[in-house]
Structure 1
Amino acid sequence: MTKTGAVREAGARGAPTGPWWWARRRSMALDVVLAVISAIECAVEGVPFAGEAQVPVSAGVALGVVAGSALVLRRRWPIAVVLVSIAVTPAEMGFLLGVVGLYTLAASDVPRRITVILAGMSMTGTLLITFISFHQDMRNDGYGPPVWVSTLVSVLMAIGLTAPSLLLGLYAGARRRLVESLRERADGLERELSLLAERAEERAEWARNEERTRIAREMHDVVAHRVSLMVVHAAALQAVAQKDPERAVRNAALVGDMGRQALNELREMLGVLRTEDRLAAPARLAEFATWRGGPEADGNGAAAVADGGTGTRAVSRGAGSGATARSVTAAAQETDGPSLSELEALIGQSRAAGMTVELSVEGDRRTYTARVERTAYRVVQEALTNVHKHAAGAKARVRLAHREAEVAVQVENGPPAEDVAGACLPSGGNGLVGMRERVTALGGGFVFGPTDAGGFRVSAVLPDRAPEALRPV
């Protein structure tokens, strides 16, 4: 911003940039010019006043100069200027002083009661002086008009000298206050937009972190379980390769099946991520183009931007496009992933790896939302993976309970067998954390810990429907 622009902006916002009480230098120049004209006018009118009052002409001229020069103080003390104009009204001087003084008083922030009182005093003084002067002039001309004529002329003269300047000042003051309120409102809206932009960035960062966490959790659940089973089968294959070739062949086939299943699940997950990118990218592009109002905007966005004053509508439409893409992505996430119907196959894989797993189901089988079934499946999957990692040779029991308004899963294993060597699988400590995040995100409860028999237990209780507020958006 240039220096001139800064001075202009500061003057418009009320910050004084001129000398003394003036906000701008041109305001000071205008008041000085008006004061000089008013002083000359009052000095000229002071000559006949001195003759009528039988005082020296110099005294009348000096009184006129002092009274007229008071106009230079109109922005600082508007009440004093009006009082001076009322005081010199009997001397029939100060026409410009009275008009400009009333205008400044009405346009200032002086209480309206004081403005009305001073305007009434000025109008009354003008009315009386006009009435007396009109009668004297008519008598000097040898004509005696009726009283109503003198009264009518005096009233019209008083209203004509006070009402226009008073009304114009009231209008200017109201307009100035309106502009200031609009400017303050615009500043407030600008601050709110800045705050909203910061919050939008925070929400975007939070959403990115949540998406990274979700992808990491899915990758962990898919890869860890399959790879753990592959390592277990590979260890068994190494142990029986020479003693039992047929079992070695079966274990090798199981390792291949596990690898193919892991690759298929990874492909499905990557396919979902690519689908999300394809759905989200056009929405982000349309929203950006709508915000910018550029040629990339779609028909609705461009029309909204081209229509003056409808920028908010354009933003709303752009946001609506993004919300549509997000809803489609959420629907894709709702229908993707394993379900409780695949629980038997999951347990069969652990049994094929040599683990003794018992499955018990309580209650009538019901249909749950995709997120609920997928979360229950992942809890059982991760729990069995942990048994393979940390309790080789231990027996495991999986319980699935269909209750009235919830579904509960529990995986409990005994102590590891002493005569069975572990597979030496690494652990990053993210399995239990991921299970807890999944369950609590659906409004359920998650408990884990060691048992008295030396084993470990994992329990999760999920509502039969995922709360709407917690679904991905």
Structure 2
Amino acid sequence: MTTTGEICREAGGGPWWWDRWRGALLDVSLAAVSALECAVEGVQFSRDAGLPVPVGTVFGLFAGATLVLRRRSPIAVVLVSIAITPAQMGFLMGIVGLYTLAASELPRRIISALAGMSIVGMFIVTYVRAQQGVVHGDLSIAGGFIPFLSVTTALGMTAPPVLLGLYIGARRRLMESLRERADSLERELILLAERAEERAEWARNEERTRIAREMHDVVAHRVSLMVVHAAALQAVARKDPEKAVKNAALVGDMGRQALTELREMLGVLRSGEGLVGRADRSVPLAAVKAAAAAAASRAADDPAEGPSIAELEELVEQSAAAGMVVRLSVEGKARGYARAVEQTAYRVVQEALTNVHKHAAGAKTHVRLAHRSAEIAMQVENEPPPEQGAASAAGLPSGGNGLVGMKERVSALGGVFVSGPTDAGGFRVSAVIPAEVG
């Protein structure tokens, strides 16, 4: 039973074995007409058999009333109609019973056997009655015409209801199959919609994480250097005006760089506002993927967008200008990498230096970069700060997301990220990124 059928049954359930009250009313009406027909025909049967008329009438009523069971037991109704055929009773019951039998879900061999029995019984009864009519003079036809008349009558009373029932049964099964397919398709569409919503929610969460990581990388490093320079500026403002002016210029340059990077990032977000708005209105997922792919393609075609490995030297110089004792060493021959690889390498070094400013101010730091055949490796290691346990003199806050963000970036490219304290009391951040990313 399909969902549609279950709804229909619940909405209009009928009594006993009927699915609907309309079907029950139809069967009861047909049974009443059949009982009345058999009761009338029972009068002639009683006279021919020499029985009291009430006996034939009651027999006809009960026999004709069995048509009410046509939906529950069509075989029994057909057998009863075949049984009373010699009494020339139950023609309506035979026609309706054969139609119901052919339209049912019973095996074809049972339908064919009962239809054959009905044809044979009708042929025999018609043939015998016609012979008796010719003998008694009630019929004035040639004797050779009787077989043709018998065959025609038998087929005319049996074939049409059987063929119509087979057609209606096949049509009903086809409609049931179509309903099941429609219900199955509806369930699949609901499931696909749920999965699409889950994928969209996952994509939104990933994008939020990525944006938060980018904002952290852009803001944390620049602002940390600005705070360090501001603290140095405050310390030397009166003692060394020339150095104070230099530090003030550095603070201004770093502030402008931070603002520039923030504007670029906000520009990307604004360009995606239309897409996000459409996605919230159930735009097909394929359109969202296509737009994201196009944006990624444009980003890959623009190597100037985002930091690169070539800017690491400048990054180290900025930290050195802020008072950090830092040294950069490069191994291997530099070559071009995918923009995602270069940006991730830059961000890892940048965040590691930021952490040194925050947690180990004044510590000597070593930045190592190695270009290998199939990967690029980087390591930022700082020695213990001059005063153990002392944080940055500028009091820089820490949100605890730097190491997590670095690991997420490297893992997304299929690389390996390791961080932790050294035996000497310092801290080391190491990352290895494949040179070719999918």
TM-score by structure 1 length? Answer: 0.85
Instruction: Supply the AA of the counterpart residue of 2:306.
Output: G
1:158 aligns with 2:180: no
1:369 aligns with 2:338: yes
Residue correspondence of structure 1 range 277-292 to structure 2 within 5 A = 277-281=273-277
Residue correspondence of structure 1 range 219-298 to structure 2 within 5 A = 219-281=215-277
Q: Distance in 2 between matches of 1:282 and 1:73?
A: 60
Q: Distance in 2 between matches of 1:14 and 1:422?
A: 77
User: Cα offset for 1:160?
Assistant: 1.5
Segment drifting more, 42-51 vs 454-463: 42-51
Match of 1:352 in 2: 321
Cα deviations by residue, 1:208-229 (Å, 9 ceiling, x for unpaired): 2111111111110001000111
Match of 1:435 in 2: 406
Instruction: Supply the AA of the counterpart residue of 1:94.
Output: G
CA contact (8 A) 1:408 1:460 kept: yes
Q: Which runs of 5+ in 2 are unaligned?
A: none
User: Cα offset for 1:93?
Assistant: 1.1
Match of 2:23 in 1: 27
Q: Distance in 1 between matches of 2:278 and 2:140?
A: 92
User: Cα offset for 1:95?
Assistant: 0.6
User: Cα offset for 1:109?
Assistant: 2.3
Which of 422, 427, 430 is matched with 1:451 structurally? 422
Which of 187, 191, 195 is matched with 1:199 structurally? 195
Cα deviations by residue, 1:330-385 (Å, 9 ceiling, x for unpaired): 33454431111111111111111122222222222222111111111100000011
1:108–1:16 Cα change, 3 Å? farther
Instruction: Supply the AA of the counterpart residue of 2:415.
Output: G
Match of 1:39 in 2: 35
Q: Distance in 2 between matches of 1:183 and 1:13?
A: 15
Segment drifting more, 367-376 vs 182-191: 182-191
Residue correspondence of structure 1 range 171-190 to structure 2 within 5 A = 171-190=167-186
Cα deviations by residue, 1:433-459 (Å, 9 ceiling, x for unpaired): 000111111111111111112111111
Q: Distance in 1 between matches of 2:257 and 2:7?
A: 74
User: Cα offset for 1:58?
Assistant: 1.9
1:86 aligns with 2:82: yes
Q: How many residues align?
A: 429
1:399 aligns with 2:368: yes
Instruction: Supply the AA of the counterpart residue of 1:24.
Output: R
User: Cα offset for 1:195?
Assistant: 2.4
1:261–1:236 Cα change, 3 Å? same
Q: Distance in 2 between matches of 1:99 and 1:360?
A: 101
Residue correspondence of structure 1 range 53-132 to structure 2 within 5 A = 53-132=49-128
1:463 aligns with 2:434: yes
What secondary structure is seen at the aligned counterpart in 2 of 1:372?
helix
User: Cα offset for 1:465?
Assistant: 2.6
What secondary structure is seen at the aligned counterpart in 1 of 2:333?
coil
Cα deviations by residue, 1:178-205 (Å, 9 ceiling, x for unpaired): 2222222222222222222222222222
What secondary structure is seen at the aligned counterpart in 1 of 2:272?
helix
Q: Distance in 1 between matches of 2:102 and 2:186?
A: 32
Q: Which runs of 5+ in 1 are unaligned?
A: 1-7, 289-317, 468-473
TM-score by structure 2 length? Answer: 0.91
What secondary structure is seen at the aligned counterpart in 2 of 1:174?
helix
Q: Distance in 2 between matches of 1:11 and 1:448?
A: 62
What secondary structure is seen at the aligned counterpart in 2 of 1:329?
helix
Cα deviations by residue, 1:394-417 (Å, 9 ceiling, x for unpaired): 111112122222211111111112
CA contact (8 A) 2:381 2:427 kept: yes
Q: Distance in 2 between matches of 1:10 and 1:454?
A: 73
Q: Distance in 2 between matches of 1:10 and 1:422?
A: 75
Instruction: Supply the AA of the counterpart residue of 1:347.
Output: V
Which of 14, 34, 43 is matched with 1:18 structurally? 14
Q: Distance in 2 between matches of 1:9 and 1:62?
A: 39
CA contact (8 A) 2:34 2:93 kept: yes
CA contact (8 A) 2:237 2:244 kept: yes
Match of 2:291 in 1: 325
What secondary structure is seen at the aligned counterpart in 2 of 1:368?
coil
Over the matched positions of the two proteins, sequence identity in percent amounts to: 66
Q: Distance in 1 between matches of 2:126 and 2:12?
A: 41
Instruction: Supply the AA of the counterpart residue of 1:264.
Output: T
Segment drifting more, 425-434 vs 45-54: 45-54
1:383 aligns with 2:363: no
What secondary structure is seen at the aligned counterpart in 1 of 2:198?
helix
Q: Distance in 2 between matches of 1:57 and 1:241?
A: 133
Bigger relative contact order, structure 1 or 2, given CA contacts below 8 A and separation 6+?
2
CA contact (8 A) 1:280 1:326 kept: no
1:212–1:333 Cα change, 3 Å? farther
Cα deviations by residue, 1:144-201 (Å, 9 ceiling, x for unpaired): 8465x43333222222111111111122222222222222222222222222222222
Cα deviations by residue, 1:281-308 (Å, 9 ceiling, x for unpaired): 46777x65xxxxxxxxxxxxxxxxxxxx
User: Cα offset for 1:423?
Assistant: 2.6
